[in-house]
Structure 1
Amino acid sequence: MKEIDVRGLSCPEPVLIVMDEMDANPGQDLAVLADAAHTRDNIVKLAGEYKRDCRVGMRGKDFEIIIQG
């Protein structure tokens, strides 16, 4: 599982980074670390557009979004 850290980045950069990774490596599981609720929401929406399941949890004070391939 590849980990992508988008903490501290402003939208739309986190979404574009995750989108590029999903395009480059279809089927790969991703763990995305985000520090803002709107970033979490946008990445979950993106995963849905790609028809990929995801789950959200917390890692300390940050959001961890697991996107399944």
Structure 2
Amino acid sequence: MEPDLRAVLEDLSYPADKWQIIACTGVYGFDSTTRRTLYRLPARRYRSPDDVAEALGPAGRLESGKGG
């Protein structure tokens, strides 16, 4: 079963830096497309999963992305 990005980010301790968010997706095996999307995040600390989603904008919906 693929992890859900939002669920994984909700388990992360906040505030979290951009590198922590990206590292978390690597540990859980998210695909390169998801990681590439997260690399577009501005380098700063995030307060919550909602803060991450807001920074990504409409193109960066928090959804499942493990695999290929």
Q: TM-score, normalised by structure 1?
A: 0.33
Normalized per residue, the structure richer in strand is 1
TM-score scaled by length of structure 2: 0.33
More helix by share: 2
Answer 1 or 2: higher relative contact order, Cα 8 Å, separation at least 6.
2
